Amino acid sequence: MQELEDRIVAEGTVRPGEVVKVDSFLNHQCDVTLFDHMGAEWAAHFAGRPVNKILTIEASGIGIACVAARHFDDVPVVFAKKAQSINLDGDQYCTSVYSYTKQQAYPIILSKRFLGPSDHVLIIDDFMANGKAMQGLLELCEEAHAHVEGIGIAIEKGFQGGGDALRDEGYDVDSLAIIDEIRDDGTLVFRH
């Protein structure tokens, strides 16, 4: 998506550890016009899929998912919560996600009332790198026996392999900007 790539180039900054910071429009300050255009792109890509729910994870995914949902007949958005601890009361789906940044796993939870076998889910998130968070969301869908119709990502760090691994598994992953390389001078190389 040209508009998104242009914004990444214009406003993104590369930090040590191949971190691409885009907090001026994506995940701290939110450009809702851009979010709307992103929603339109995913709606075109996933046209014909019987999506009846959008799943995301707090916090950065929520705004994008809620604006994008308007392009999918206003289907409900449900977001997985990062929990303090595993809750074993049986009302929640639960799995854990390993974070390389924090070098530890954290639990994510989702109420069983909001995802089940009748759901056809589009998963949306702001970033995909190694795909660990997405793996967690897919595990929640599996636990719920929900059908995953597709995965919509704003920015995929292609060189970290998470997206391609999911494509190899048969998932329809639509990333609106895929960064395949960060050169030593900070130049970003996009996949086209």
Determine the Cα–Cα distance for residues 91 and 28; give it in Å rounded to an integer.
Answer: 31
Q: Residue type for 3, please?
A: E
| Residue in 135, 123, 188 with CA at minimum distance from that of residue 166 | 135
**Between residues 90 and 170, which has the closer beta carbon with respect to a second copy?**
90
Question: Rule CB under 8 A: is residue 14 a binding residue for a second copy?
Answer: no
Measured from the CB atom, the residue of 69 and 166 that comes closer to a second copy is 69
Distance CA 166, CA 178 (A): 14
Largest interatomic CA distance in the chain: 51
Q: Which residue of 8, 12, 35, 127 would you call a contact of a second copy, by CB under 8 A?
A: 35
| Between 23 and 181, CB nearer to a second copy | 23
Q: Is position 69 an interface residue for a second copy (rule: CB under 8 A)?
A: yes
Q: Which residues pair with 127 in a beta bridge?
A: 155
Q: Smallest distance from the beta carbon of 23 to a second copy, in angstroms?
A: 7
Instruction: Tell me the HSE value of 157 on the side-chain side, using a 13 A CA sphere.
Output: 15
Q: Which window, 12-20, 61-69, 163-171, 184-192, contacts a second copy (CB under 8 A)? A: 61-69
What is the rounded CA–CA span in Å between residue 57 and residue 72? 18
> Which range binds a second copy by CB under 8 A, 1-9, 59-67, 142-150, 173-181?
59-67
Query: Which residues sit opposite 109 in a β-bridge?
Result: 81, 94
Q: Least distance to a second copy from the beta carbon of 121, Å?
A: 13
CB of 80 closer than 8 Å to CB of 55: yes
Binding-site residue numbers are 27, 129-133, 157
Binding-site residue numbers for 5-phospho-alpha-D-ribose 1-diphosphate are 129-133
Interface with a second copy (CB under 8 A) = 23-25, 28-33, 35-36, 58-59, 62-67, 69-70, 74, 76-79, 81, 111, 113-114
Binding-site residue numbers for xanthine are 27, 157
